[in-house]
Structure 1
Amino acid sequence: MTRRRIGQACAGVALVGGFCVAQTAPAQAAAPDYPVGGSASGYASWVSTPDANPPGVNVPCTPSAAHPRPVVLLEGTTSRITHSFARIGPLLADQGYCVYGLNYGDTQLTASTGGVIGAMGDIPTSARQVSGFVDKVLAQTGAAKVDIVGWSQGGGPLPRYYLQNLGGASKVDSLVGLAPSNYGTSFFGVLSLIGAVQNATGVDFLSASGAPAFDQQLNTSPFTKALNAHGDTVPGVHYTVIETRLDDVVTPYTNAFLKGPGATNIVLQQQCPLDGTDHLGIIYDNNAIQDVLNALGPRVPNFKPSCQAALPLVGTPGLGGLPG
């Protein structure tokens, strides 16, 4: 995939070989070339500037005929968009997409950590934030619908609640989830144990501490059961789940998968045996990002990415874009 670079501009004429040359038709502006981050820059920006936007994200934009739907990025639990989408955000923008992202679900933990810890609030409340944000993106861009790309909570229960309960299905064409917690998680039994203690004591200390989203993502939680009680997809929306067998947060990893009509479930290791990424590294995994691009369009059936080695925590090592 070729990334397009921004060129110098001449007043009313084109720059050719370093000289301004008049042409019979105006030259078409090239798409921006935003710096693409990796895990190191993503984690660093998360700590140093947690409210920053990744390059190319939340930049005023008019959708093109090739990419008529803006992409809305939704972070994972505890994260911020500057970390969750340090690689995906600029790559999508460089491909010509209008890209927007939202930091949602702030709680007292967000304030007490200087804005670092986010996406911990009550999921239905966060979904209402997403609803308002999508409406603003549609109004600003003039688009009829958006696509959503999310990680963990942001790719599963949060946008699915919006689609099911807040009228989002009429405004969203595709939901692409990276390691989403669609059927909740036991976190290797740890969250299940916490839930049992809370039930026994009658004290919901996760919610009291500013982390109700943890409670709600339990595989046994009332929220998770209600979300999936009447089917896990909504007609008219395309769903793509991209998951790693080595997911160490959504456990078992199969809890990421959707069962309803319109859903495509992808296991990275079936596409690329070199892929050793986990839950935290998948957002920097170029194999997974190629699947994201295919899910946004052209949606080639049985698509397989150009296989690259990927590691836990860091995904595809280093900075940079996708294979050419």
Structure 2
Amino acid sequence: MLPWKRVLRPLAAVLLTAAVALVPATTAHAATAPSSGWNDYSCKPSAAHPRPVVLVHGTLGNSVDNWLGLAPYLEDRGYCVFSLDYGQLSGVPVFYGLGPIDKSAGQLSAFVDKVLTATGAAKADLVGHSQGGMMPRYYLRFLGGAAKVNALVGIAPDNHGTDLNGLTKLLPYFPGAADLLNAATPGLADQMAGSAFLTKLNAGGDTVPGVHYTVIASKYDEVVTPYTSQFLSGSDVHNVLIQNLCSLDLSEHVLIGLTDRIAFHEVANALDPAHATATTCASVLS
């Protein structure tokens, strides 16, 4: 295979995904979570865990599949756990997180209100994977979420966008490619490093007062690149590189959110820092 074909093939896959999804985005979709074991609206937070946990899936994820590992893990530890679908494109079922991210943040806002009303809690904790770890920052900064959220834990979040290992720099060489991404899958376009959405989100600092931030990243992440772009700056930020806790952990972008119990242990520490325990390779047994 010619060298340029090896470079362009991954980019072509991204653009093909966008072309398949070339349908108008709808903002009428109400963020809802299908019944899935954890979305129990009769659950009342305990004194030990007084805040419900809202799980926010990533791009192309959904409220169930993204959390088949972490949701039961947190439930087993006594948390009231909820998850939502957001960012649906008209005519595209199952795969969410493709709509404009500012609209998705509005859906998260409505969902958090629903959870707080059902549980009677004053605040919630948010845990998100990929886009789901970054999108809530818009809710916190621009939609009043800081008054309703205690902590945001991002697992492999694209807080400062991604360059897809440099592939996004090739977009200008494909006439119309950028326009196609914006029109077909605005949620993807918003996550590209340097996008107008990210420029607005990160202007004036990464965090807002009153919210505790944790970022859990892997140096093997092949989607949010460079992986250091995931980290936040601020006075109440805890940035974690998972390999510093267990050098044997080879999880990349998907697995760190789906199955990585070392990452899960760090999530539990972030949700209950007063009872945090050291995270090591042995944490897979906890």
Q: Using the alignment, how far apart are the partners of 1:229 and 1:89 within structure 2?
A: 33
Higher helix proportion (structure 1 or 2): 2
1:285 counterpart letter in structure 2: D
What is the identity, as a one-letter code, of the residue corresponding to 1:293? A
1:233-312 → structure 2 map (5 Å cutoff): 233-283=207-257, 284-299=259-274, 304-308=278-282
Equivalents in 2 of 1:192, 1:169: separation in Å?
Answer: 34
Please give the alpha-carbon distance, in whole angstroms, between the structure 1 residues aligned to 2:99 and 2:197: 13
Deviations 1:183-226 (A, max 9, x none): 000011223323x357x6496111322x1011111111111111
Distance 2:96 2:188 in 1: 12
- Return the match for 2:106 from 125, 128, 136: 128
Asked if the contact 2:41–2:119 (Cα under 8 Å) also holds between the matched residues in 1, the reply is no
Q: Deviations over 1:247-274 (max 9, x none)?
A: 0100000010001221110000011011
Mapped to 2, the partners of 1:79 and 1:201 lie a distance apart of: 27
1:81 is aligned, of 60, 63, 68, to 63
TM-superposed deviation, 1:304: 3.2
Cα deviation, residue 182, structure 1: 0.1
The aligned amino acid for 1:96 is G
Q: Could you tell me which amino acid in structure 2 is paired with residue 288 of structure 1?
A: A
CA contact (8 A) 1:77 1:118 kept: yes
Contact 1:54 1:85 in 2 (8 A): no
Q: CA deviation at 1:134?
A: 0.5
Partner of 1:206: 181
Q: Which has the higher contact order (CA 8 A, sep 6+)?
A: 2
Matched, 1:117 2:102: no
**In structure 2, how many angstroms separate the alpha carbons of the residues matched to 1:214 and 1:265?**
24
**Other structure's SS at 2:150 match:** strand
CA gap of 1:185–1:246, structure 2 versus 1, over 3 A, is: same
Report the secondary structure of 1:189's partner residue: helix
Q: Which runs of 5+ in 2 are unaligned?
A: 1-32
Paired positions, count: 253
Q: 1: distance between equivalents of 2:280 and 2:34?
A: 31
Deviation at 1:244, TM superposition (A): 0.3
Residue of structure 1 equivalent to 2:116: 138
Tell me, in whole angstroms, the C-alpha distance in 2 between the residues paired with 1:272 and 1:298: 20
> Percent identity among equivalent residues?
46
Contact 2:41 2:115 survives alignment (8 Å): no
Q: Distance in 1 between matches of 2:178 and 2:254?
A: 30
- Correspondences of 1:82-97 after superposition (within 5 Å): 82-97=64-79
CA RMSD after TM alignment: 1.9
C-alpha distance in structure 1 between counterparts of 2:97 and 2:45, whole Å: 28
1:187 is matched with which residue? 164
Distance 1:204 1:279, change over 3 A: same
Is the contact between residue 124 and residue 151 of structure 2 (CA under 8 Å) also seen in structure 1?
Answer: yes
Query: Normalized against structure 1, the TM-score is what?
Result: 0.74
Residue 151 in structure 1 maps to residue 133 in structure 2: no
Rounded to whole Å, the distance in 1 between the matches of 2:121 and 2:99 is 29
Which amino acid letter does the alignment assign opposite residue 265 of structure 2? Q
Tell me how far apart the structure 2 counterparts of residues 266 and 100 of structure 1 sit (CA, whole Å). Answer: 24
Q: Aligned to 2:39, which of 47, 52, 57?
A: 57
Task: Indicate the structure (1 or 2) with the bigger Cα radius of gyration.
Answer: 1
Q: 1:140–1:247: structure 2 CA closer, same or farther, 3 Å change rule?
A: same
CA distance in 2, matches of 1:202, 1:124: 22
Q: TM-score, normalised by structure 2?
A: 0.83
